[in-house]
Every structure is written in C-alpha cells, then in structure tokens.
Amino acid sequence: MRISLSVNNTSVEQEVEPRVLLVDLIRDDLRLTGTKVGCDTGQCGTCTVLLDGRAVKSCSMLAVQAEGTQITTIEGANAETGLTDLQEALWKEHGVQCGYCTPGMVLALQDLLATNKAPTEQEVRCGLAGNLCRCTGYQSVVRATLALTGQTGGDDNV
C-alpha cells in the first residue's frame, strides 16, 4: 500500500506492506533509529513518538494507520544543536543511564508538559506510567521534570 505522511516536517511517500508497524517504518525504512523497540506489546514506551502532537506508541499501530498524520520522532523534537530545555534539565539530574528508554521518555514528557505546564510529582509519575526505565529508578527523571517547572522534589541525595 502507498501511504503519505509527514515525519519530522518532511513529507514521506512510501510503499509499505499492510502489516508493517509504524515503528518499523520509522526505524527500518526511514532509518530514524532514535526511536527504539523494547517490547512490541505497548508496555515499555521506548517506541514513543508524537502523532499530531500527542505521544503514541509506534509499535502499537500500523504504518498505514499513520496516513495523513504528522509524526515527530526524537530526531524531529531535538533542537538543531545542543539540547532542549527539557533535555538540559534531564542532563543536569543525570536522568539517563543506558539511554534506551530516553527518547521515548523525552517525548512522553514533552507531551505531558504541553498539556500541563506545572504537573505535580504524582502527575509526572502518572504521565510516565507508559514509559519503563530499568536504570534510573525514575528518581532523576521525575526530579528533572519538577525542577524544569520550578518545583522541587526528592532533593535528599548527598
């Protein structure tokens, strides 16, 4: 099937098999490898991208379902150089270890902060419930997000 969509503000016209997942289109055909695959059942969130501005799991939809949409992957969410304010905040708190969940986390947080400028700790934690991380224990990620919005939390490390 032929599909057309916008990925990172570039229009994409692509022939795909109906069974191809959106994440496979992104990774294998478009070679945008910042989007990861961690589970393929919609649990881990490493494949998170923005679809028309909202965070979705690109392993849980077919590429053909993205017809006519605007997709933003981590590559499209990045600043031209350096880091966005959110990424800077995560860096400051070392909210990334192995980095495999990180692009998905960044996009999920971007979505959260777009709809809620000053989330509470509980809202941040719930906002990240679809993104698993096995390294950080979420401590630094949640700290960074609260710090970015001028709040404090868990400032109890030595």
Partner 1 sequence: MSEKVFGAGLKPREDPALLRGERKYTADITLPGMVHMEFVRSAHGHAAIRSIDVAEAQAMPGVLRIVTGADLEGKLMPLPCIWVPGGVESHFPPHPYGLPGAGTVLATGSVRFIGEPVAVVVAETRAQAADAVRAIRVDYEVLPAVVTPEQALAEGAPQLHDAVPGNLNALWTCGDADGTDAAIADAEVVVKLDLHNRRTINSPLEPRAAIGDYDPVTGESTLYATTQSPHNHRFLLSALVLGMPFNKLRVISPEVGGSFGTKGYLYPDMPLVIFLSRELQRPVKWQDSREGLMRSTVQGRDHRQYATIAGTRDGRITALRCTSYANLGAYPSTIGPGVATALMGRSITGTYDIEHAFCEVYATFTNTVPLGAQRGSGRAEATFLIERLVDRFAATIGMDPAEVRLRNMIRPEQQPFDNRMGWLYDSGDYGAALQRALEMAGYTDREKAKQAARARGKLLGVGISTFVAVCGVGPSPRIAKEGMLGGSWESANIRVHPTGEVTLTIGVTGTGQSHETTFAQIVAQEFGVAVDSVQVLHSDTVKAPYGQGTYGSRSYSVGGPAVQIAARQVTDKMRLAAAHMFGVDEKQVVFRDGTVQVEGDAEKTKSFSDMAMALWYGWDLPPGMEPAIDVTTTFDPADFNYPYGAHIAIVEVDEVTGDVELVRYIAVNDVGPVGNPLVVDGQIEGSIVHGVGQALMEVARYDETGALLTDNLHKYAIPRASDVPFFEMDRTETPTPHNPLGAKGAGEAATVPTAAAVTNAVCDALAGFGVEHLDMPLTAETVWRAMNADTTSRNGAQ
Which residues are near partner 1 by CB under 8 A?
Answer: 17, 19, 27-28, 31, 33-44, 46, 73-75, 78, 82-83, 87, 90-92, 94, 96-103, 106, 121-122, 124-126, 128-129, 131-143, 153-154, 156-158
What is the pairing mode between strands 10-15 and 54-57?
unpaired
Minimal distance in Å, beta carbon 75 to partner 1? 7
Find the angle CA(72)-CA(83)-CA(22) to the nearest 5 degrees.
Answer: 20
CA 131, distance to chain mean position in Å, is 9
Minimal distance in Å, beta carbon 115 to partner 1? 17
Closest CA to 47 of 132, 127, 142: 132
Closest CA to 3 of 56, 52, 71: 71
Minimal distance in Å, beta carbon 51 to partner 1? 17
Minimal distance in Å, beta carbon 3 to partner 1? 17
